[in-house]
Structure 1
Amino acid sequence: MNSQSEQLLHIGVIGLGAMGMGIANTLLQKGFDVTGCDIADEVRASFVASGGRSVATPAELSHCNVVLVVVVNGNQVEQVLFSEQGVVGHLASGSLIIQCATVAPSQAKQLGERVAAEGLMMLDAPISGGAAKAKSGELSVMASGAAKAFSYASDVLDAMAAKVYHLGEDPGVGSSMKLVNQLLAGVHIATAAEAMALGIRMGLDPEVIFEVITHSAGNSWMFENRVPHILKGDYTPLSAVDIFIKDLNIVHQTGRELSMATPVAASALQQFTSASGAGFGREDDSAVIKVYQRLSGITLPEAANDAQGT
């Protein structure tokens, strides 16, 4: 460990969802002392089975000196940090919070100020890469915060990420960068679904569409990553439709704060909202294509077991 973190690091991970569990297991496998925190009994049991420790409330992470927050939204961040059972009031002075959830930049700035007022450090450190990259320790981290916080966190960040971007000293900068990423990611997923729907409606073979586009200028990372879910008819949520409703709403909110229109993001938000309203909110975000199925009657590929009637 570096000179700033020679003391033994006790890591807490709040939120053992797809991303949080991947991070927690990665850190555990790389030799860190890790305690996972989640409200779900079965999730905690799964982490314990992997060799970690678990607690049901953030307040029980008082022995930790680094806590990663990997929850779904800003309201949950507020709860796990500052509620009666929140972690902030129970950590030793000088401990570090690494806030990884996607929140509005304005909220990230406020969180940083409140955490500092309690004698703690915070990195505004949203993550990108999905569950697979979390599991393999190859995330991208878009972080901002004081140099001392970066130094303290360096071993943890190096273990969980392939790339750590140091974006400045002020909380809110990391979240600003993540918002740019989420605008593009949401628009690309919605556009990939629309492009696939158009091709299918014109009678093209979905597999051929994928083959041609992934070797053409119209390709995108999201097209290449999400369209296989459509081809397999498998909408098991790796990142759910409702996540992009949340994130694109943050884009919209931030645009309003800046008096800046974001019309393309707004259009994508409407597609995700339509998908959620049709009952697909908890399915994989590629299920946004089902909006086109409802509207134009296209036939989408089915999962293998569905096609076999089993």
Structure 2
Amino acid sequence: MQKVGLIGLGAMGRGMAQSLRRGGYAVHVHDVRPDAVQAFAAEGGTACSSPADVAKACDIVISVVVNAAQTEEVLFGANGAAAAMRPGSLFVMCSTVDPNWSVALEQRLEAMGLLYLDAPISGGAAKAASGQMTMMTAGRPQAYEKAGDVLKAMAANVYKLGDRAGNGSKVKIINQLLAGVHIAAAAEAMALGLREGVDAAALYEVITHSAGNSWMFENRMAHVLAGDYTPLSAVDIFVKDLGLVLDTARAAKFPLPLSAAAHQMFLQASAAGHGREDDSAVIKIFPGIELPKKAS
């Protein structure tokens, strides 16, 4: 069995690790939460105490952490993976990051004799667990050759967007532009309906069968109807991701008025104490509405 390492057993990473195991790979894992590592080991994975231990065991290391800072820690922090990886090994970066940072990371790893794939992901926890998510990838041909069928074991759609790092992360932040704006618009629409006295369940039923529907309205407003803000993707994720979108556009002097408005909505929700709640909690910024309560 080919050994594959995965670091970061959050909502997406755990499902990806499960998909790799179903695909016949021997999966070595690490997470900052020991209980998450032990839970996966109990299912047949191999627990590792640090990113370096993962790298020592595997020629392919997949990182599924929140942001660039955490990826830096995985690679170059205490007991980091980079120094322990053998020359010719592959690092697959699945976080949403500044595209320029991803380009620079490829150069840093190449200088160490390591291969790199810029490979952000999308689809949510359920699709990650079923191996049906999307990967937006870019990297050297040698990196794809090294990856073999590993990417296909985790994703139904693997898009190859360039022969060096950058375009994977660019496409991901454009996806996040749409996702964030759609969630913000969905919350605004539901809030208006509640303010006007429309039954929330009836509004949801009509919109999800009408031209105004979006995947985000259908998915996230179901959380609002249930009164359940357990974070599948948190408000603060979109504070970060829409911030990356705006930073990229600002550098190119390109206007993004809808993204800027949505970013302010998520910032407002975070400032009000909802940053770690599900991103649908952005609806809580609207005044004068009574949200559905969670069933007891």
Shift of 1:242: 0.6
State the one-letter code of the partner of 2:232: L
Superposed displacement of residue 151, structure 1: 2.4
Determine the C-alpha separation between the residues in 1 that align with 2:80 and 2:252.
31
Residues 84-123 of structure 1 show CA distances to partners (whole Å, capped at 9, x for unaligned) of 4210110111111110000010001001111111111111
Q: What is the aligned-residue RMSD (CA, Å)?
A: 1.0
Determine the structure 1 residue equivalent to 2:252.
Answer: 258
Q: Report the equivalent of 1:67.
A: 61
Give 4+ residue runs of structure 1 displaced > 3 Å after superposition.
Answer: none
Name the SS for the 1:261 alignment partner: coil
Distance 2:20 2:161 in 1: 23
Question: For residue 5 of structure 1, what is the aligned residue in structure 2?
Answer: none
Shift of 1:41: 1.5
For the pair 1:299 / 2:293, whether they are aligned, the reply is: no
Out of 19, 24, 45, the position equivalent to 2:17 is: 24
Q: In the alignment, what sits opposite 1:3?
A: none
The alignment of Structure 1 onto Structure 2 pairs a total of residues equal to: 295
1:198-277, aligned counterparts within 5 Å? 198-277=192-271
Q: Structure 1, residues 38-89: CA drift from partner, whole Å, max 9, x if none?
A: 1111111111111111123111111111111100011011111122421011
Shift of 1:135: 0.4
Letter in 2 for 1:89: A
| Aligned residue number for residue 119 of structure 1 | 113
Unpaired segments of 5 or more residues in structure 2?
A: none
Q: Distance in 2 between matches of 1:66 and 1:160?
A: 14
Once residues 253 and 148 of structure 2 are traced to their aligned partners in structure 1, the CA distance between those partners, rounded to angstroms, is 37
The TM-score with structure 1 as length reference comes to 0.93
Instruction: Give the alignment of 1:2-13 within 5 angstroms.
Output: 9-13=2-6
Q: Counterpart in 1 of 2:134?
A: 140
Q: Is the Cα contact below 8 Å between 1:13 and 1:69 reproduced in 2?
A: yes
Matches of 1:272 and 1:39 in 2, distance apart?
A: 27
Of stretches 250-259 and 128-137 in structure 1, the one that deviates more from structure 2 is: 250-259
When normalised by structure 2's length, the TM-score is: 0.97
What is the alpha-carbon distance in structure 2 between the residues aligned to residue 170 and residue 259 of structure 1? 24
- Could you give the per-residue CA deviations for residues 171-216 of structure 1, whole angstroms, max 9, x where no partner exists? 0110000010000000000110000000111111111111111111
1:9–1:66: 8 Å Cα contact kept in structure 2? no
Q: Shift in Å at residue 34 of structure 1?
A: 0.5
Identity %: 54
Q: Does residue 33 of structure 2 align to residue 40 of structure 1? A: yes
